[in-house]
Structure 1
Amino acid sequence: MQDLGIRVLFDGENGVRLLLGLIVTLKLSVITIIASCLLGTLMGLLMTLRNPIIHTITRVYLEFIRIMPQLVLLFVTYFGLTRAVGINLSGFTAAVIVFILWGTAEMGDLVRGAFISIPKNQFESGTALGFSKLQLYRFIILPQALRQIIPPAMNLATRMIMTTSLVVLIGVVEMLKTGQQIIEANRYTAPSAALWIYGTIFFLYFLSCWPLTILAQHLEKKWEK
C-alpha cells in the first residue's frame, strides 16, 4: 500500500508541535480581538461625534488601514520600523500591533454604523422619559446597537484568526510555520506529507473559527424572537 504520509503526523512530536503552533495562533488572535473590540468601540463612539477634526482623523485612519494590505503593514512594522526608529520588535509583537490597528479600524466602523442606524426618536423618547444620558445608552441605545454589532463582529473575529497565517512571513513560529517545518523535514522520506499536514492545519483553523460562527447564528436567532 502506498504511504500517504499520514504517519508523519504521529512521528515523534509532530502532532504536539502543531498543537503548540495552534496555541501561538490562538494567543495572537485572542489578544488582538479583545484589544480591537475595546479600542474599536471607543473609536466608533468618537466617529459618531460631530467634530470635524475628530471625524477627519478617524476617517483617514480607517481608509488608510482598509487600503493598505495587512501583509504590507506587517513588513513595514517589522522590518521598516525596526530600522528607521531602532526599535527591536519581535515578530509576535509586530503582529499584535498590526492586527490591533486593523481590528480597531474595522470594529470602529461597525460600532459607528450600528449607532447611527438607531432612529433619532429612540434618543428623543428616552430623554422625554427622564433618562439620564448614561441610562439612555445603557437601557435603550446599547441593547439595540449590540444586536447589530455582534454578528459582523464575530465575522471580523474569524477573519482575524484566519489572517494570522500571514505572520509566517515575518518569522513567527505559529501553526502554519510549524507545518511547513514538518513538511520540509520529511520531504524526502514522506513526499506526500504536505496533504496531511495542511489538511490538519485546515481542520484546526476550522475548529478555531466554527464556535464563533455558531455563536453568531445563535444570537441572531435569539434576537429575532
Structure 2
Amino acid sequence: MDSLGLNVLFKGDNFYRLLLGLVEALKIAAISVLLSILFGIILGHFMNKRHKIIYAILRIYLEVVRIMPQLVLLFIVFFGSTRAFSLDISAEFASILVFTFWGTAEMSDLVRSAIQSIPVQQYESAEVLGLSPLQSYRYVILPQAIRRLLPLTINLVMRMIKTTSLVLMIGVIELLKVGQQIIEANRMSSPNAVFGVYLTIFILYFLACWPISLMARWFEKKWR
C-alpha cells in the first residue's frame, strides 16, 4: 500500500477532505446544470422561431462558447472582471456563472436540434386531428423531443461534472485541489502519494459519473 501511495489516504482526515472536495465539485456542477437546462430550453425555443436577429445573436453566442476554452472564460470572469469592473465575486460564483454560460449555449443547441428532428408529418397529423398549436406542441412534439433530448442532456451533465476540475485554477477547493494539497503536504514522507491520490480521484469521479451513464443507457433502451 505504501508503494502505491495509498497510505496517505488514511492519515488524519485526508480521505474525508477528498470527499468534501467531490461534494464541492458536484455542487457547482448541479447548480450549473439546473440553470443551464432552464435557460437552454428557453433559448432553444427562441432559436426555433427563426427570427433572423434573435437567431443570429444566439448563433454567435453559441459559436463563441464553443470556440473559447472554459479555462479562459474562468480567468476572464474571475480575474478580469474583478479588476476591470471592481467586482467582488467568489471563485465558486464565478465558476457557476461560467459553467451556466457554457451549459446554456450547449443545451439551447440540443433543444433546437431535438425539436427540428421531429418530422413535419407529425405537425401535419396534429393539425388534422384538430389540435391547436399549443396542444400539438404539448402532446405530440414535446414528448418526442424529450426522448431525443434526454440522452444528450445526460451526456452534457457528465461533461460538466468532469470539467469542474478546471475551477482549481481560480482557487476553488474542489476534489483535484484537495488532492494536490494532500500530495504537497506528504511530499517528503510519502513520495508515491501522487499515484494513490490521483487514482482515488479517478475512482471518485468514476463513481459520480457512472450512475448517470447507466441512466442514459437505460433511457436509450427503453425508448429505442
The TM-score with structure 2 as length reference comes to 0.97
Structure 1 residue 123, shift from structure 2 partner: 1.0
Match in the other structure for 1:32: 32
Match in the other structure for 2:220: 220
Match in the other structure for 1:162: 162
Match in the other structure for 1:16: 16
Match in the other structure for 1:185: 185
Question: Do the aligned partners of 2:36 and 2:103 also contact (CA within 8 Å) in 1?
Answer: yes
How far apart are the structure 1 equivalents of 2:2 and 2:35?
A: 48
Structure 1 residue 5, shift from structure 2 partner: 2.2
Question: Do the aligned partners of 2:28 and 2:92 also contact (CA within 8 Å) in 1?
Answer: yes
Aligned length: 224
CA RMSD of aligned residues (A): 1.1
Please, which runs of 5 or more residues in structure 2 have no aligned partner?
Answer: none
Structure 1 residue 3, shift from structure 2 partner: 4.1
Q: Does 1:126 align with 2:91?
A: no
Percent identical pairs in the alignment equals: 55
Please, which runs of 5 or more residues in structure 1 have no aligned partner?
Answer: none
How far apart are the structure 2 equivalents of 1:24 and 1:123?
A: 44
Structure 1 residue 70, shift from structure 2 partner: 0.3
How far apart are the structure 2 equivalents of 1:39 and 1:2?
A: 48
Structure 1 residue 2, shift from structure 2 partner: 5.8
How far apart are the structure 2 equivalents of 1:153 and 1:89?
A: 29
Match in the other structure for 2:52: 52
| Displacement over 6 Å in runs of 4+ | none
Structure 1 residue 133, shift from structure 2 partner: 2.2
SS of equivalent to 1:118: coil
Question: Do the aligned partners of 2:74 and 2:94 also contact (CA within 8 Å) in 1?
Answer: yes
How far apart are the structure 1 equivalents of 2:181 and 2:193?
A: 12
Q: Does 1:174 align with 2:174?
A: yes
Alpha-carbon deviations, 1:78-110, whole Å to 9, x = none? 000111111111111000000000000001101
How far apart are the structure 1 equivalents of 2:26 and 2:177?
A: 14
Give the aligned residue type for 1:93. Answer: F
Match in the other structure for 2:92: 92
Q: Does 1:81 align with 2:88?
A: no
How far apart are the structure 2 equivalents of 1:95 and 1:125?
A: 45
Match in the other structure for 2:148: 148
Match in the other structure for 1:206: 206
The TM-score with structure 1 as length reference comes to 0.97
